[in-house]
Structure formats: C-alpha cells, structure tokens
Amino acid sequence: MIEKISILREAALEKIKQAASSSEVEELRVKLLGKKGELTEMLKDLKNMAIEERKQFGQEANELKNEITELLESKFKELSANDVKKSLSSGSSFDISLPGTQFKVGSLHPVTIVQKEIERIFTGMGFNIVDGPEAEEEFYNFEALNIPKHHPARDMQDTYWLENGSLLRTHTSPCQVRAMQKYGAPLKVIAPGRCFRNESTDASHENTFFQLEGMMIDKNVSIANLIYVMKLLLSEVFNRDVKIRLRPGFFPFVEPGFELDLNCMICGGKGCPTCKHSGWIELLPCGMVHPNVLRYGGIDPEEYTGFAFGLGLTRLAMMKYGISDIRVLNSGDLRAMEQFSVR
Amino acid sequence: MKLSLNWLKDYVDLSGIDIKELWYRFTMSTAEVEEVEFVGQDIQNVVVAKVLSVVPHPESKKLKITQVDSGDGILQIVCGAPNVTEGILVPLAKMGGSVKNMPKLGKVKLVGVESFGMLCSAKELGISDDHGGLLVLEGDYAPGTDIKSIIDIDDVIIEIDNKSLTNRPDLWGHYGIAREIAAIYGRELKPMQLDDLKSAEDKPKLDISVEDTEKCFRYSGLKIDGVKKLETSMNMKVRLFYCGMRPISPLVDLTNYLMLEMGQPMHAFDSRQVESGIIVRATKEPTLFKTLDGTERKLPEDVLLICNREKPVAIAGIMGGENSEVLEVTTSILLESANFEGSSTRKSSTKIGLRTEASARYEKMLDPNMTVTAIQRFVKLLKDMQPDIQFASALTDVYCSKLEPIDITITKPYIDKYIGNTLTKERMVDILRALEFKVDVEGDTFNIKVPTFRATKDITMKVDIIEEITRIFGYDNIQPQTLDIALKPLQYNEERLTDHKIKELLSERFGASEVNSYIWYDNTFNSRMGIETDGQVKVLNPQAQDANTLRDSMVPGMLAFAEKNEKSYEDFLLFEIGSVFRAASPKDKCEQHKNLCILAASKVKSEDELFYDLKGIITFIAKALKNANLDFSVCTGGLNWVHPMKSVDISTNGTPMGYISVVHPMIKKNIAKKLNIAVLEINRDVLQAIDTGVIKYKEPSRFPEVVLDYSFLVDNGVTFDRVNEDIGSFKSDLLNGFSFVTIYTGKGLPEGKKSMTFRFVIGSAEKTLSSDDINAFAGSLIDYMNSVGYALR
C-alpha cells in the first residue's frame, strides 16, 4: 500500500510540475484531492486495513495530501500570476481616450437660473417667496398701487386687457398688496414672475418678461435702511462690493421714489459705452411704500413703514450671459437654450 | 424737454458753479438730465461787417462780389445770398474763423474771384434753420464787433427726460427749473418782471363764460389793440430755436416763449373772430374742426372747446383753430391764459391723436394761479417789443373751480425716523422755504402750506414733504443704517420648491431643456397644424389678431417649438412650467393654474418609446418628489392632438392630473413627417398637493431572499394592467414583491400571444428557504397563473 502512495506521489509531483495553466492546476486538484480524487479513493481503503497498517498508511497518505495541497497552491499562485501578466501584456485594444458613456445634460432657461440664484440670496436673508396670478385684477395692478383711473402711469405701461375685465399684470407689484393682505406686517417678501406689456417686440423689447418684486415692512423702516439693504443685496447678487446711488424717480406706489443706479462695473465709473459714459447704470426702481398702498394692504401707515423694489430678472439674465436679443428667450430655440446647462 | 442755461441765468445766479456738477446734482435731486450740450463753440471769429458795395460776379449769375468793412480793414467777399445789398450789417466769418460745419475758413477762389471770408446766414451761425439769405443785423453796431456780444450764440442746452417730470407740473418751464437750482445751491430765485396791468383796470370786462367747470378750472383773458408789425428779438429767437421750437410769427413766438419760460401755455386769438365773447364748453356730438396746422379733424364727443357765439375757435389746451389764427395783418388780439383739467385734456388729446407742447403741460395739472401772472409777463414782454400797445379790455379772470389749499403738519422726529438719519430743524426749514413752502415752526412741529404750483396733485401728504427735504438734502448724504427685525420662521413657498425640483430632475436626470413660451395661442400656427383649442379667455387688445386667446393648454405652443427645432435636432426633450387659463366664456372670470408640459420628440425612437419615456419620467417624478404612485387609465379627454389609442390619463387618488399622449397622426404629419412626438401635460398644483405621507419602515429579513424570473404567455389583447392585477391577486406568505421585467413579441411564440416576464422576490422572516419551499411556491404560482389564463412560457 505504501508503494501505491509513493507511485501516486511521483506521478502527482510530475503532473503538477508539468501543469501549464491555472485551470490545469485546478483540474489536477480535483483529480487528486476531489471527492472522487485518486488520493481520496485511496483513503477509502483505510477501513479495510489492520490497525497498525492503517496508522502508518493514514499518516503517509495525510502527509502526501498536505504536500500535494501545498504544491498545488504554490503552482496555482505562480501560474495565475502568469496568466494575469499574460493577459495584461497581450496587446489590448483598450483605448482610454475614447469618450465615456454619454449621459445627456439638459438645460434650464437662463431666467430660471438667475431667478433661483436670487431666490437663494433672499431666502438666506429671511425673505419669503410669494406668487401672484398672471391674469390679474385691475384693482391689484393699478388702484391698490395708487394708480387711479386716467393716471398717466397707466399709459406708461401699455396693458393687455382681457375681455372679462381682468388684465395681464404689467409688473410684479400687484404681489405687494396681495402679500400684505395675506401675511400682514412685519413682512419680508420677494415675488418673481412673468409680466406683460402691450408693445411690439424687437431686439430690446418684449411683451413678455420677468421681474422680481421685493418688499420689506416693519416698524421704523427708514430710507437709510433701504439704502443699507439694497447695497447688501446687490453686493450678493453681483457677488462683489457694489457702489450704488439713489436719485429721484417717480412711481405712484412709492414715496419717495428712487431710481437706483449701480456704479458701472465695466469701467468702474469712469465712463464707457455700456454706461453711456455716465459711470452709472440704471438698475432698479425702488422707494418707500406709499401710505395709500399700505392702507390697501390693510397695514396702518402710521404704525408701519417699508420699502419696495423691482428687479428686472430678464434684464439681469441678459446682462449675466451677454444675450443681446431679448426675443431669443421666448423662442424655444434649442440651439440657444441648450447652452444653459443647469446651474 | 430742452433748457437754455442763458435763460436760467435770468433767474438764478450761477456764478462759481461748475456746469457739469450742476446737472449732476440736478439729476440727483430733481430729474434725470439726459444730455448737456455746449452750443456755439463751433462759431469763432465772427464779427459784424458792413456791406459797402455789391457788384455782379463776371462769371457767375448767382454770385456777387462785395467789399465789406470788417472793422479791421476792407475785405473782398464773394457772396451768393440773394439779400446782399449795400449798407446792411451782416455777420462776417473771418479767415481762420469757423462757422457751423465749416471748421477753419481760409482764403478761397470762387469761380476765379478771391474771397477773404464769408458772410453768414443764421443757419451758418447754428441759431436757426433759416438759410434763405444773410442774417441782417438790425441795430447800430460798429463793424468789427464780436457777433457773440450781440447774439447769445454761446449757450449750454440741457435735455431733461420728460418721463422724470410727469409728476412735476412746475418744472415744465425755465422758471420752475431755476427755482429747483436755487434751492439745491441755496441761492436766490430772482423775480420775473411783470406788467401790473394798471392801465387796463378801467376797461370793460370780456364776455367769458365757462360751461364745463370740471374740465376748465380757470380762464383768464385780455384784449390788446394797436399791435403793429412786430419783430421777435434775435435772442428770443435763438432761445426758442435752442429749445427746439421754430420761430413762427412774433405773437406766436411770444406765447411759445412764455410757455417755455413759465410752463403756462397761452393762445392769442385774432380778436375779430371772438368779438361775440368766449364760451368754454365740451362737444356734445362729433364735430369737424380745422386746427391751425391746416388739418381738418374729427372731434369726438366730450372734447373741451373754446367757442365764440357761433362756432368753435380752438380745442382747449391742445391747439387753436385756423379760423381764429393771428395773421400778419392782425392788430387786435385776445390773449387766453387758462387752466384746463389734466386727465380730460389727456383723454381728448389721445382721442384726437394730437399731442402738443400745450397739451403735454396741461396733462400734468398746472398751477391755476399761473394764468394771471402769465398775462402780466406776456404784456411786459410785448411792451418791450412795442411800448405803445393799448389794452382793449380789463383783465378778465373766470376762476370757476378753485384749487383747495393744502396744509400739512409734520414733526421733526417723524421726519428723522422716516429718513433714518437726523437732520437739523434749520436745514429742513431752509429746504422747504427755498422750494417756496410756507413753514410755520412751533417747537418740533412744522405747519406747512404747500405752494399752489406743487399742490395740484404732486404734494398731498407727510411723506411728500419728506421727499422734498431728502432729495434736496441729497440721498447720497444719507448714512445707511442696519435694521433690527424680529426673527420669524420662514414659510417656504412649497410650489416654488416643487417647480425647481421638477426642473432640476428633468434637466439633470433626463437631459431635458427648459423653454419659455408665450401665454397666448398662435392661432395661425394652430390652424396650419389643424390644432383645435377651446381657449375662452380673450385679449381685448392683442398685438396681433392671431394672438388674442390665452392658452388653456401648453401643448400647442410646445408643438410649435417641436416644428422649429426639428431641422437641427433628431432627438429632444423640452419642458416648461407655465400658466394656463380657463373660463366658461370670454366674459367670465378665469381660473388659472400652472401646468407642467413635457414634449418628447425623436427621429430615432418610435412614438411608442417616446410615450413610455414620458410615462417613466412622470412616474419617476411622482416617486422622487412625493413618494407617490400615479394611476393611469384610458384617456377620456377630447383634445384633438391626443392619439385615440396611444394616450393615457394620469390621476392620483382619484384626482385627475393630466395626460400623456402620442401626438395624433393627423397633426403629427403637419409638423414633420419623420419626427415622432409624444406630449405630457399635468396640473402642477395637483402634483404639488399630493401628501407625501410617512414612509412605512419594514425590518429587512435576516435570511436571504430568492429571486425568480418567470415568463408567461399572454393573449395579445390582454393589457399589462390586467396581468399585473391578476398577479397581484395571487396570495403567498413567501412573496415579498414582484415587478415587471420585460415584454417579448417576436418569433418563437404561439400565434396571438406575447410573452411577459416578471420577477418574484420571495423570502421568509424565520428561516432560509429550502429548495422544497421554493419549489412549492413556484408550483402554486404557476398553477395559479394557469388558472387565470397565462401559461408558463
């Protein structure tokens, strides 16, 4: 029996030595040590042996099993390392420069991008965002903003009237009174949205555009506060410290009313074509909320004061991206729109 | 509006003030200055010359050869002006000098004859459009006198944005502007020189009656006789010209001059046409009337007229009539200085389609107290031209609708609080008084009387007073102040958050592009495509008739974008969140809400694929935003772009939300034959209103789950929903869930069958499943499926 073992040993060692691939080694392992392997079969004979023989035979067989196992393992390691080496060196056609899997990135409308950005800034400063209807009541668009019938300001904003007596809001300012009525004072809100003016379109005029209305009401809100807040907000919007100036501007729903000019950021105020050589760019109308408007909003002007401002979102988006023709914004032209990949 | 600095200097001393700084401060305190132009600087070295002799040019019929006394020797000048005659005084541009559009004059030869300078027309001096001949200087000027010492050619012309003056009736003349400048710089405003009209006092009153006292507040008149042939003074002409008005005739020039000076429009009638008296009344019916520009105009009802006993002679506040115009032969005039109501003047002017310098001023609500002063000023200026005019009437002043005086009481602490800075009481009072407010100070309280020229509409309440103080003080001088505001939790605008989230998902995850469209239909496009809509909300005054209907669906607009982009793209996904408007009829108030519309278009994907894309996207959005499952059912809507079969209604918990549809082939073929299109339109508000609910957590089993895929043969006519529902009815304790994997409809299947593959996940919370357990489950599932008609494939 012992002889049988040594024959098996020699044959096994030889075969392991000859093995040329890791799969051959695996085959050998099954053939020798597997459930029906040669050595396993041999061990089955143990039960028929005498005790003394069984002891000796068992010991040798076990030693052989260990030896073969070890040899197989080291051979396997050697060959599989070879296999990997071989596969790595066998001139692969892998081209790292081919583009990655293409996932399409969509786009947001440029006004949406700017709107989100500004909403984020105002929300961070504790402003609520409110909305109002686009088909608006005459009352909110005009009367409640201290623009009575036949007021010239109604001409200034050529209005689309609806057959049902409503109108398409000419500005986001109706949201002022709606917000006051809904939330009362104190109040800090912005209202971005679409507005409409009945005028023919060209590169710089659109009948449909976006504005953002802002309003802040509390006890003791002053002109000095307005200046402070506007400067702070605009520094955030333009992401730099800005210089502003206020000059008189007439809007029926504020008193005093201001035109807020921004020191031209292109020339730094020295004068250039962008600022028409004045050093200033007319940016937004603002003012202290007119007592009549507060009253329409159900707020006592003797107790509360506040300021309001209007920002042209469409204009801001055009400034930001250098869009020179406003009409492209409502054109649905993908060649333009898809450039505004999100954010 | 254009202003002459020379004119302003009549009323306020500007010495020592930098002109650029002056207009900067004016912009910062009063109104926007659009342009400051230094005129006359291009006129140099022009002197008075006397024409000594004129002889014809030997070679030219048009030209003449003149010898002129330049004050500095005799010069030969060749001249082509028709009015060159011996003895006249004319402007001479000397060699080296310059005139309008001719920078350096030199010696020239004109058809062979040398000329040592140039005799000038008024146009060449830049002070008129008149190029009919030489400017003949009336007066006894010595040759060689600098022309600029005679005529105010040098001036600074300031243009102010009219829009920034809409609320300031007092700023529509030089005098009001001078008042502002005086207040800004703390200088004195000089009074206007007026005639006291003393010698008219004993003359008879004019017969003036105002019938419509709502449209005419005041009507002052004066009749003047003995007007001779007048000549408008050179400097007056230059001022008119620089301010944008054309000199017409001396009397008209004078009324215009007065209007530009005081802001008060005036009209001079030939008094022969108004002998019978003046009646101010509105038209009761449409009337034809010829204005003095020679145009016959149709006046509608309710337009205010100035009439004599028989007929209209002027449209009040807008323009005089041709029938009563002052002519060269006019020797007697009736001077009108009136105050008409603003908005009715504006309405009339709009209705007639005639806006004039006068109507533009009346629209602003002028000071009624100006009418008499204007007449006094007019007479003063007329007397300067012709001292011996005679008054043929007393000043007749019908002041029928008196302006209510406005008194405002305000306190210093209130002003300080509103401004947020502290100003001295003296500063406040000084500013108000400079603006001609009467201020009575009692401690910290100011009792203020508003001057009438500010009281017509501009200044009515406390905040108006604060504006006056702060704007003159200078907004730039206000120190910014931080503010304490009570902390208050934000109420986020959930709708806005939903919108932004939807937009992010669509663009970032699905590669869609956001577009913006108009909220009205393009009727032309719709009919070209065969799209029928039921928009009931109509625009009364659309830009174009085909844009008169507000959309009740966003799909037609999206389809227009599909057509537009089809040429450049073969596969695209567009979306927009926008308003739609619905009403029972155009007369009814409309309901409006926001919709989400997505359009999927492709030349590479089939329309079926596009449909499933949209269905997948909206399912994803509902899951991602609301953790909600949507319900889909057979489409019931009657929209004509909806495909009769390939469409589905979307709802959530029984609330309809919208639909998905392949675009109807009848419309698709009109848009683009090769472009497959599917659309989705849902009510954003319904999506927004879905209650997200609370996630119900279930402890995962500690034992492994087993995944089994089975394909079943299904009759072609049986829908997925049906199969899904049938599987849903199968009960087993082991079944943790099942899902759809794929559908196969190709070769190797029995006739009339399709194959649907589902994945079943089974497991137990108590043990690892044995193969017997798995086999038992599979057996019962397959038996069950057989029993409901689906054989295992």
Q: How far apart are CA B733 and CA B776, in angstroms?
A: 12
**Residue with the two structure tokens 């979306």:** B575
Residue B694 lies in a domain: no
Answer with the residue of higher pLDDT: B371 or A155: B371
B612-668 pLDDT per residue, tens: 999 999 999 999 999 999 999 988 878 999 999 999 999 999 999 999 999 999 999
ipTM score: 0.84
**Residue with the two structure tokens 């956001």:** B514
* Minimum CA–CA partner of A223 in chain B: B419
- Do the Cβ atoms of A198 and B478 come within 8 Å? no
- Do the Cβ atoms of A337 and B488 come within 8 Å? no
Residues of chain B with Cβ-Cβ distance to A155 below 8 Å are: 346
C-alpha closest to that of B63 among B55, B71, B75, B53 = B55
Range of the domain at B97: 44-153
Strand order of the sheet with strand B312-315? B208-210, B278-282, B304-307, B312-315, B319-320
Q: Cβ of A320: how many Cβ atoms within 10 Å? A: 14
* B256 and B139 within one domain: no
What is the least distance, in Å, from the CA of A30 to any CA of chain B? 27
Structural domain tally of chain B? 6
Question: Closest to A225 (Cβ–Cβ): which among B163, B420, B592?
Answer: B420
Residues of chain A with Cβ-Cβ distance to B471 below 8 Å are: 248, 256
Question: Closest to A186 (Cβ–Cβ): which among B463, B486, B590?
Answer: B486
Question: Closest to A200 (Cβ–Cβ): which among B347, B543, B574?
Answer: B543
pLDDT of residue B174: 98
* Minimum CA–CA partner of A115 in chain B: B500
- Do the Cβ atoms of A225 and B483 come within 8 Å? yes
In chain B, residues 211-270 whose CB comes closer than 8 Å to chain A: none
Residue B700 lies in a domain: no
Q: Return the bridge partners of B68, or none.
A: B51, B75
DSSP secondary structure code for residue A45 in this structure: G
How, if at all, do strands B266-270 and B216-225 pair? unpaired
B586 preceded by a cis bond (ω within 30 of 0): no
- Do the Cβ atoms of A334 and B565 come within 8 Å? yes
* Minimum CA–CA partner of A232 in chain B: B482
CATH at B500: 3.30.930.10
- Do the Cβ atoms of A119 and B496 come within 8 Å? yes
* B319 and B294 within one domain: yes
pLDDT of residue B774: 93
- Do the Cβ atoms of B511 and A103 come within 8 Å? yes
A246-289 pLDDT per residue, tens: 999 999 999 999 999 999 888 888 888 888 888 898 899 999 99
pLDDT of residue B374: 97
* Minimum CA–CA partner of A201 in chain B: B543
* B165 and B138 within one domain: no
Residue B305 lies in a domain: yes
* B506 and B587 within one domain: yes
pLDDT of residue B695: 84
Question: Closest to B164 (Cβ–Cβ): which among A106, A109, A250?
Answer: A250
* B324 and B372 within one domain: yes
B28 close contact with A: CB closer than 8 A: yes
Q: How far apart are CA B179 and CA B664, in angstroms?
A: 71
Element (H, E) at B405: none
Q: Return the bridge partners of B513, or none.
A: A107, B574
* B629 and B551 within one domain: yes
Sign of CA dihedral B539, B544, B549, B554: negative
* B208 and B138 within one domain: no
- B568, A334 Cβ separation under 8 angstroms: yes
Helix-helix angle B462-473:B412-419, to 10 degrees? 60
- Do the Cβ atoms of B346 and A248 come within 8 Å? no
Beta strands in A162-298 (DSSP E): 167-168, 187-196, 208-218, 244-248, 254-263, 280-289
Phi/psi at B124 (5° precision):
-70, -20
- Do the Cβ atoms of B514 and A107 come within 8 Å? yes
B35 close contact with A: CB closer than 8 A: no
What is the least distance, in Å, from the CA of B723 to any CA of chain A? 34
* B713 and B636 within one domain: no
Q: What is the DSSP string of A295-333?
A: HHTT--TTT-EEEEEEEEHHHHHHHHHT---GGGGGS--
pLDDT, block means (10 residues), chain B with 793 residues: 97 95 95 94 95 92 93 92 93 93 87 92 92 90 95 96 91 97 96 95 94 96 92 93 92 95 96 91 94 94 94 95 89 95 93 95 95 97 94 95 94 95 95 96 96 94 96 95 73 88 95 96 95 94 92 97 95 97 94 97 96 96 93 87 94 94 94 94 94 85 92 92 92 92 90 94 91 93 94 91
Domain parsing of chain A, residue ranges: 2-84, 110-337
B521, B523, B538, B586 from B534: Cα distances, Å = 11, 11, 11, 11
pLDDT of residue A238: 86
Which among B351, B458, B493 is the top mutation candidate for probing chain A, defined by the most A β-carbons within 10 Å of its own β-carbon?
A: B493
B362-381 pLDDT per residue, tens: 999 999 999 999 999 999 99
Tokens of A86: 């071989």
Residues of chain A with Cβ-Cβ distance to B167 below 8 Å are: 250
Residues of chain B with Cβ-Cβ distance to A227 below 8 Å are: 475, 478, 480-481
In chain B, residues 177-196 whose CB comes closer than 8 Å to chain A: none
- Do the Cβ atoms of B504 and A342 come within 8 Å? yes
* B502 and B468 within one domain: no
Q: Residue A98 — very low, low, confident or very high, per pLDDT cuts 50/70/90?
A: confident
Question: Closest to A135 (Cβ–Cβ): which among B32, B518, B537?
Answer: B537
* B448 and B378 within one domain: no
Q: Residue A156 — very low, low, confident or very high, per pLDDT cuts 50/70/90?
A: low
C-alpha closest to that of B196 among B452, B367, B377 = B377
Question: Closest to B569 (Cβ–Cβ): which among A123, A257, A334?
Answer: A334
Counting every residue written for chain A, the total comes to 343
Q: How far apart are CA A262 and CA A241, in angstroms?
A: 11
Residue B487 lies in a domain: no
pLDDT of residue B485: 65
* B571 and B519 within one domain: yes
Residue type, B455: A
Residue B584 lies in a domain: yes
Q: How far apart are CA A241 and CA A244, in angstroms?
A: 10
Q: What is the CATH number of domain A110-337?
A: 3.30.930.10
- Classified as helix, coil or strand, B139 is coil
Q: What is the DSSP string of B455-517?
A: TTTT--SHHHHHHHHHHHH-GGGSPP-------------HHHHHHHHHHHIIIIIT--EE---
First to last CA, chain B: 89
Torsion angle (degrees, nearest 10) of CA B311, B317, B320, B326: 110
pLDDT of residue A71: 87
pTM score: 0.83
Residues of chain B with Cβ-Cβ distance to A246 below 8 Å are: 475-476
Which among A103, A109, A307 is the top mutation candidate for probing chain B, defined by the most B β-carbons within 10 Å of its own β-carbon?
A: A109
What is the least distance, in Å, from the CA of A199 to any CA of chain B? 7
In chain B, residues 575-604 whose CB comes closer than 8 Å to chain A: 579, 581, 583, 586-590, 592
Q: What is the DSSP string of B16-85?
A: T--HHHHHHHHHHHT--EEEEEEESTT-EEEEEEEEEEEEE-SS-SS-EEEEEE-SSSEEEEEE--TT--
- B783, B773 Cβ separation under 8 angstroms: no
Q: Is A239 exposed, middle or buried (0-12, 13-18, 19+ CB in 10 A)?
A: exposed
* B468 and B502 within one domain: no
